[in-house]
Amino acid sequence: MTPTLFGRWQTRILLFATVGILVTLPFFLGLISSKSGSIFLWTLGYVAIFGIGWDILYIYIQHFRWDRDWPGAFQLLAGIWEAVFVLFLIKIIGLPGIPEQNFELGAFALHYSFVWLAIYLASQTIMRILFPYWRFRGGQWL
Amino acid sequence: MNPQPWRLRLTWIDTVTGDRRSPIFDLPIALGRVFEAMPPTINSERVSRIPLKSSQVSRFHAVIASETDSSIVVTDTGSRNGTFVNGIKKNRCVLANGDMLQIGPYAIGISFTVNSTETPSVNSHIFFNPQTNGPDSAIKQPATSPPSPTVNTGEFPPIAFLHASEVTMRSIQSMGMPVEEIDWAAVGGGLGSFIWVDLLRICGVKADRIAVLGMENQPYARYRRLCLNSQIPLYERLRSNSDSCPDNIWGWPPYAVREAWQELLKGRLDVSLKLMWQVFAEPTFAETYTPRAENVFDSIDREVSRIGWNQMFRYGRVRGIRKTDDGRYAIAYSRSNAEHREHVFLIAKYVHLATGYPAIQFLPDLQAYRETTQDFKSVVNAYENHDEVYKQLEARGGSVLLRGRGIVASRVVQRLYEARQKNRDIQVLHLMRSPKPVGNKFNFAERSVENHYEFQPFNWPKACWGGELRVVLENASPEFIPQLLTDWGGTTTANRSDWRRMVKEGLSQGWYRITFGEVERVERDSRNRTVTYIREKKLKGQIQLEADFIIDATGLDAKVKTSPLLNDLVIQYNLAVNGLGRLSVKQDFEVPAMRNSSVSNGDGRMYAAGAITLGGHYAPVDSFLGLQYACLRSVESLAKAKVKSVRKLTVVRSLIQWLKWIFNKSPG
């Protein structure tokens, strides 16, 4: 992957809004874990919003790489980092829409992992098939 | 009496094309990145200003001048990265004949002998044999030259055709040769044409409206031959990414997934998982995955049948292309062979040129050796078939002098390492022009170097294909492009752990040595061995390197002048040629001056792709993925112009066509 900043943003927004919501629905309906409800949608939203900011940091890191690329392994590390950050905010500061008492770490971890995996796989497969120009434009599908 | 100004010959290699420049300049000489930043006169003497395009060269970097005591001194004029003489950083240094000056990535050889009796310093060539489609050193001029317009030998194409910028359909019909009409013509018949036609078919063009003109109907024939010649056997891996699939525009499933699947079917789960880990963790936590040559060729075979390539392919050698008076192009081609002559005109509305490398670069001193001694066995180019060299080494042992330091040199070293397993009595001397202690730098990043091999996974930084660097180059002004290409390009090889191990082993065991120097000439001694004379810097003497074989691994040449077909087009239509001597094309790879507008028939267009377009706004033109990018851009602009029968590659079309690919169904 050799994304540009706009490419990262466009891909993130598209995939969170489609694959992200799709994967969150079972959680929202309470089909997977004992918890259910809009808390999962709020989490998804926060990860997406903060991610817009983190993407700027990732692009900055890419500038130190000769190939200006972003290996898949880095995407995993980024995923872990973004999870830790959101967790930190939820626990220490508290985020609107995610009440402290409703929050359960296990459900969050499961939900987050599924969303991350689904989005990662979608970016490796479906994006290439539906948007053949996507990988030549640094991730811009528009 | 005015004293004669001192003159120096400076020799350096353009790191992007591999071209050798060896001009003579009057002193004082100023070196820097920006012409205007260097002074026009010093001490009322006119300065020879040499612009060197690279971000590592300061705007005014150094000056070479003669002193009152007649010595020639190089002075660093406050550069950021310093000036190096024979590897040592100097602010001021007296220069001797044969010294090597390093300024940024440029290694400049200094010579005091400016007589014209020196061996010619421009690159010489090995052309491709039109019959065998392989490199043939016996060919002095490519056989496909259009005959000179001043000589009427009754040759083909007729003089009337060659002289005119625009030929009328009537005159073509009256020439008495078969005339075929088609919508789309692809000239070249190699991988560039294949990728173009593949995309046309995916975008809705029917097979019976497309004609491909080439020498062999397997699109990868020449590429495969060059691979085998340059020591990449079919089971070995190409320097190409997992998702660079010439048979599949989407890059899914990539070669790594296909290979992992094959391994799974064979019951080798561990290998399968290792491959998947590789593409996930590359290049930082695992070695970059590259596909096996045979898998790539097999996949192309499948796509060749799927799109109906064989019904589109026509054997032919294109002699000339001219615009017609009705908005199309007349392509004159020859189908002659030993038994009979046959000449044909193909009229097409849209022409695609992807003729590739017309010739192989061959070092001039080696060319001179061959011409004097007629010895074509001891001195070879790595792109020629030279398996005999390894056979002899394995049988009798011997010594090899290897020149060049890119990916081909690495393949040769690997082959020599394998030869040594059969016969320990093989010595390898690797002659490089100059040391490369550090790699290129760009912004905050730097390429890594080990044992003077500079590493890069592919022939350009990855982001040149579809990332940030692609955007940078696309938006760069034409004056800035050569600098970017110099910074990002250069001679690199892949960071393969097995290759690095072989080099380290060779160096420590002593059978592999690296030496530096500028070659003056190559001769044959009384024992029929080759002797290479290089200028030695410190002792100001001459070193002689004896070897049984010399292998030139320096590269291919695609300048427009080298291809008679392109040269003819450039001259006839005054086509723009870019800074690297190749065709200048628009962002969508159209050749602008070849647009053929007609009132009744709309616009005929000509597109170009591949090595013949290097030097413009897209760097990795000579790669699978780069060819796909070029063709995607061209098809996009055709669809936007509402050209009949080319459909836009929308989400729906893309999905449907991908499914057809999966189920091996014709695109339509």
Task: Say if residue B277's pLDDT is above 90.
Answer: yes
Q: Report the residue count for chain A.
A: 142
A73 in contact with chain B, both atoms CB, cutoff 8 A: yes
Question: Closest-CA residue in chain A for B657?
Answer: A129
Provide the b/e sequence for B377-388 (b: ≥16 CB within 10 Å): ebbbbbbbebee
- Please state, for a pLDDT cut of 90, what percent of chain B lies above it: 75
Task: Check: CB of residue B36 under 8 Å from CB of residue B468.
Answer: no
CA-atom Rg of chain A in angstroms: 15
Residue A60 Ramachandran class (φ > 0 left, ψ -120 to 50 alpha, else beta): alpha
Counting one residue from chain A and one from chain B, the pairs whose CB atoms sit within 8 A come to 98
Give the span between the Cα atoms of B593 and A8, in whole angstroms.
Answer: 37
Say what the pLDDT of residue B111 is: 87
Give the span between the Cα atoms of B277 and B286, in whole angstroms.
Answer: 8
Contact A71 B281 (CB under 8 A): yes
Q: What is the pLDDT of residues B63-114, one digit of tens each?
A: 999 988 888 999 999 999 999 998 889 999 999 888 899 999 999 999 887 7
The type of residue at B189 is G
Say what the pLDDT of residue B153 is: 43
Please name the residue that has the structure tokens 């590269």: B555
Higher pLDDT, B365 or A31: B365
Output the DSSP codes for A63-92.
Answer: TTSTT----HHHHHHHHHHHHHHHHHIIII
Dihedral of CA atoms A105, A110, A115, A116 in degrees, nearest 10, equals 80
Nearest to B252 among A2, A72, A128 (CB): A128
A136 in contact with chain B, both atoms CB, cutoff 8 A: yes
- Span between the terminal Cα atoms of chain B, in Å: 82
Higher pLDDT, B487 or B157: B487
Instruction: Please report the ipTM that was assigned to this predicted complex.
Output: 0.94
Task: Say if residue B607's pLDDT is above 60.
Answer: yes
Tokens of B7: 């003159």
Coil, helix or strand at residue B660 = helix
Nearest to B281 among A73, A128, A136 (CB): A73
**Cis, peptide link before residue B253, omega less than 30° from 0:** yes
What Cα–Cα distance (Å) separates residue B662 from each residue in A116, B154, B226?
Answer: 27, 52, 30
The angle, 0 to 180 degrees and rounded to 10, between the axes of the packed helices B624-640 and B191-202 is: 40
Q: What is the pLDDT of residues B524-562, one digit of tens each?
A: 998 889 999 987 665 556 788 999 999 999 888 778 888
Say what the pLDDT of residue B296 is: 98
Give the span between the Cα atoms of B406 and B404, in whole angstroms.
Answer: 6
Q: Quote the distance between the C-alpha of residue B393 and its chain's center.
A: 29
Question: What is the dihedral sign for C-alpha B566, B572, B575, B579?
Answer: positive
A68 in contact with chain B, both atoms CB, cutoff 8 A: yes
Contact A128 B463 (CB under 8 A): no
A132 in contact with chain B, both atoms CB, cutoff 8 A: yes
pLDDT, mean of residues B392-398: 96
A38 in contact with chain B, both atoms CB, cutoff 8 A: no
Q: What is the pLDDT of residues B496-519, one digit of tens each?
A: 999 999 999 999 999 999 999 888
pLDDT-derived band at B150, boundaries 50, 70, 90: very low
A77 in contact with chain B, both atoms CB, cutoff 8 A: no
Task: Say if residue B576's pLDDT is above 60.
Answer: yes
pLDDT-derived band at B141, boundaries 50, 70, 90: low
pLDDT, mean of residues B112-119: 62
CA of B454, closest CA in chain A: separation in Å? Answer: 12
pTM for this structure? 0.93
Give the span between the Cα atoms of B24 and B237, in whole angstroms.
Answer: 43
pLDDT, mean of residues A20-46: 88
Contact B655 A72 (CB under 8 A): no
pLDDT, mean of residues B457-486: 95
Dihedral of CA atoms B277, B282, B285, B287 in degrees, nearest 10, equals 90
What Cα–Cα distance (Å) separates residue B611 from each residue in B15, B188, B595, B623?
Answer: 15, 12, 21, 9
Say what the pLDDT of residue B537 is: 62
Nearest to B468 among A74, A133, A138 (CB): A138
Task: Check: CB of residue B399 under 8 Å from CB of residue B545.
Answer: no
Residues of chain B contacting residue A132, judged by C-beta atoms under 8 Å apart: 249-250, 632, 649, 654
Give the span between the Cα atoms of A112 and A43, in whole angstroms.
Answer: 8
When the pLDDT of each residue in chain B is averaged and rounded to a whole number, the result is 91
Contact A72 B281 (CB under 8 A): yes
Side-chain-side CA neighbours of B392 within 13 Å: the count stands at 11
Question: The sheet that has B556-557: what strands, in order across it?
Answer: B135-136, B124-128, B359-362, B556-557
Q: Report the residue count for chain B.
A: 668
Nearest to B445 among A66, A133, A136 (CB): A66
pLDDT, mean of residues B192-210: 97
Could you give the domains of chain B? 7-111 (2.60.200.20), 159-234+296-358+558-662 (3.50.50.60), 242-289 (no CATH), 365-456+492-553 (3.50.50.60)
Phi and psi at B566, nearest 5°, equal -70, -40
Higher pLDDT, B589 or B142: B589
What Cα–Cα distance (Å) separates residue B321 from each residue in B1, B3, B26, B161, B665?
Answer: 58, 54, 44, 9, 35
Q: Quote the distance between the C-alpha of residue B254 and its chain's center.
A: 25
Say what the pLDDT of residue B116 is: 53
A138 in contact with chain B, both atoms CB, cutoff 8 A: yes
Range scoring the smallest mean pLDDT among A79-83, A89-93, B224-228, B249-253? A89-93
